[in-house]
Amino acid sequence: MRITLRVWRQLGPTDPGRLETRDVPDVSPDMSFLEMLDVVNEGLIAAGETPIAFDHDCREGICGACSMMINGVPHGPNRATTTCQLHMRTFRDGDTIVVEPWRAKAFPVVRDLVVDRSALDRIISAGGFIGVSTGSAADANATPIPKTVADRAMDSAQCIGCGACVAACPNASAMLFTAAKVVHLGLLPQGQPERYRRVLSMVRQMDLEEFGGCTNFGECQDACPKEINVAVIGRMNADFLKASLSNRDEAA
């Protein structure tokens, strides 16, 4: 099949960048989207042009590196699929495909389709952990956890930190990312001692990184390759309210 690619090229954070049009004549429907870009890049190299930069690593949908807005949708049109697992058979012969980087102030463009997502790491660093130093743990079965609770914690813990939620949100909000971690740890008995302290500092960091606020559009949930539900945001809101009222010293 043949497609027309309109792809964002930008040398660095200060370059204004532009969409470049490329004709890609030799696409196999069995290629993944990234393999299609590999082929385009091989062609560029042969022609002496610099290849398109894009983040990718595991290519099996779990590392969270790939990050592309494909025809205006993060990771492309398929549900619960990362860009690396999106295959060209999803598109039709003759399609024009627009590819852009995630866009958010907190995700400055490094080059072409590569953005800097270290803001997400800093949110985790602010409190997305259980403060247990190595060696001090009790026996793993000392605290039983109901299966349903463990399963719900796992639902949130599946986040791959790709940033699709931010990319999809009209407000460029990182609430789904932040809430997924707050809820994962907040559901487990091990996470209780730091529960309110955690939500306060993670939300503060999230705001400091200049992500937008949540206005309940729901786009993040739809874009999330791991189908994390916006219910986690509601739970985080409640925890935040409770934390602000009950842990005033920490909140200050």
Partner 1 sequence: MHWARAFAESTIGKKIFMAASGVILVGFVLVHMTGNLLMFQGPAAINHYSAFLKSSAPLLWAVRITLLVSVAVHIGSAWSLTLVARAARPARYARHHAQVSTWGARSMRTGGVLLFGFIVFHLLHLTTGNVHPEFSPSDVYGNVVVGLRMPVVAAFYVVAMIALGLHLAHGVSSLFQTLGLNHPHWNPIRHRLAIVLAVLVFTGFSTIPLAVAFGVLR
Partner 2 sequence: MNLRSKVPAGPLEKKWDQHRFDLKLVNPANKRKYTVIVVGSGLAGASAAATLGELGYNVKCFCFQDSPRRAHSIAAQGGINAAKNYQNDGDSIFRLFYDTVKGGDFRAREANVYRLAQVSVDIIDQCVAQGVPFAREYGGLLANRSFGGAQVSRTFYARGQTGQQLLLGAYSALERQIARGTVQMFPRTEMLDVVLVDGRARGIVTRDLVTGAVQSTAADAVILATGGYGNIFYLSTNARGCNVTATWRAYRRGAAFANPCFTQIHPTCIPVSGDYQSKLTLMSESLRNDGRVWVPKARGDKRGPAELAEADRDYFLERKYPSFGNLAPRDIASRSAKEVCDEGRGVGETGLGVYLDFSDAISRLGEETVRDRYGNLFEMYQRITGDDPYRVPMRIYPAVHYTMGGLWVDYNLMSTIPGLHVLGEANFSDHGANRLGASALMQGLADGYFIIPYTIGDYLASTKPAKVDETHPAFREVESEVKGRVTRLLSIQGHRSVDSFHRELGRLMWDHCGMSRTAAGLKRALARIPELRAEFWRDVRVLGGEEEFNQSLEKAGRVADFMEFAELMCLDALHRAESCGGHFREEYQTPDGEAKRNDDEFAYVAAWEYTGDGNAPRLHKEPLDFEAVHLTQRSYK
* Residue 239 binds partner 1, judged by CB under 8 A: yes
Number of residues that bind partner 2 (CB under 8 A): 80
Least separation in angstroms between residue 45's CB and partner 2 is: 5
* Residue 157 binds partner 2, judged by CB under 8 A: yes
Write the CA distances from 99 to 5, 159, 224, integer angstroms: 7, 23, 18
The one segment of 83-91, 120-128, 169-177, 190-198 that binds partner 1 by CB under 8 A: 169-177
172 binds, among partner 2, partner 1, none (CB under 5 to 8 A by kind): partner 1
* Residue 160 binds partner 2, judged by CB under 8 A: yes
Residues 122-161 that bind partner 1 (CB under 8 A): none
Residues 117-146 that bind partner 2 (CB under 8 A): 117-118, 120-121, 124-126, 128-141, 143-146
- Binding-site member from 62, 73, 98, 251 for partner 2 (CB under 8 A): 62
- Binding-site member from 55, 100, 165, 195 for partner 1 (CB under 8 A): 100
Least separation in angstroms between residue 236's CB and partner 2 is: 16
- Binding-site member from 1, 62, 73, 145 for partner 1 (CB under 8 A): 73
Query: What DSSP string describes the chain?
Result: --EEEEEEE-SSTTS--EEEEEEE----TTSBHHHHHHHHHHHHHHTT-PPPP----SSSS-S-----EETTEET-SSTT--GGG-BGGGS-TT-EEEEE----TTS-EEETTEE--HHHHHHHHHH-S----TT-PPPTTSS---HHHHHHHHHHHT-----HHHHH-TT-B-HHHHHHHHHHHHHSGGGSTTHHHHHHHHHHHHHHTT-B------HHHHH-TT---THHHHHHHHHHHHHHHH-HHHH-
> Using CB under 8 A as the criterion, which residues of the chain lie in contact with partner 1 when the complex forms?
6, 8, 19, 69, 71-73, 98, 100, 103-106, 168, 170-173, 203-204, 206-207, 210-219, 221-223, 229-231, 233-241, 244, 248-249, 251-252
